[in-house]
Copies of this chain bind each other. A is one copy, B any other.
């Protein structure tokens, strides 16, 4: 179906899943961001899929190919579009499975649609048709040196690569990342960047700050009143790198927990939801917590609940 026709169908009556896309390069933090959202929405109301499962070739086959896993031709993107449309209209799919630990394509798995569907991966916002499936779209945009560090740490520990292999792969991917991953940034409603603040010397161990570009393509919560008393978080009107007007929400890594918690409560109140701020936000690892991550997740949660 053409993208416009599908948008019209989606906008019609009937209860359909709320769909959030989280796009970004390898090791940009998609899984970490997703995990907290699933936890907060409740695993019973929510399903998350990774569209890197739509890889057309396994790791061994890719060795002989002139492109990397980032290239559209290396993925069944038309099938991904099909499946996103099916999920967006409330139908189940039989999703392919790429096993990152072995690099092999495995038995597919059935995915039932649910009230909330989070779709993360390298190329979920690649085409007009795929974008038409989403209610909210996010692009993760960490500084390149930070992402490289994350990728090195993960791929050498969890995916069985050597340090040299990861570095070589990162170089091999640079041009394809520029050509195919980064352009999705301009299609996102929200661009999320976790980074140290340039102008400060944070003490070691300070969590990264979050800089969120909020495009007026969706209706964001009115944070003006909520942020009035916060010195470490603020919204600023500015121009994006392409010149388009945007709001930018800064959440500093050194934000005191009590300040962050009060913002979370205020944002939660804006949503008019029962109960307290849900658990599971801001979790980085077994022991680590990041307030900027929690605020980011809460904003996404706001949009998902608001769309429902």
Binds B, one of A78-86, A208-216, A282-290: A78-86
Q: Does A93 contact B (CB under 8 A)?
A: yes
Bitwise, A97-123 to B at CB < 8 A (1) or not (0) is: 000000011111010000000000000
**Other-chain contact of A78, B92, B96, B105 (Cβ < 8 Å):** B92
Contacts of A105 in B (CB 8 A): 107-108
Q: Does A94 contact B (CB under 8 A)?
A: yes
Contacts of A186 in B (CB 8 A): none
A86, B82: Cβ atoms under 8 Å?
yes
Contacts of A107 in B (CB 8 A): 58, 96, 104-107
Contacts of A56 in B (CB 8 A): 110
Contacts of A93 in B (CB 8 A): 79, 82
Q: How far is the CA of A105 from the CA of B78 in the complex (A)?
A: 23
How many A residues are at the interface, by size bracket? Answer: 10 to 19
Minimum CB distance partner of A58 in chain B: B107
**Other-chain contact of A82, B91, B104, B108 (Cβ < 8 Å):** B91
Contacts of A78 in B (CB 8 A): 91-92
Q: Does A76 contact B (CB under 8 A)?
A: yes
Q: How far is the CA of A96 from the CA of B106 in the complex (A)?
A: 10
Q: How far is the CA of A91 from the CA of B2 in the complex (A)?
A: 13
Contacts of A91 in B (CB 8 A): 78, 82
Given contacts A82-B86, A86-B82, contact A108 B96 (CB under 8 A): yes
| A–B pairs, 22, beta carbons within 8 Å | A56-B110, A76-B94, A76-B110, A78-B91, A78-B92, A79-B92, A79-B93, A79-B94, A79-B110, A82-B86, A82-B91, A82-B93, A94-B94, A94-B96, A94-B108, A96-B107, A96-B108, A104-B107, A105-B107, A106-B107, A107-B107, A108-B108
Residue ranges of A at the interface with B (Cβ–Cβ < 8 Å): 56, 58, 76, 78-79, 82, 86, 91-94, 96, 104-108, 110
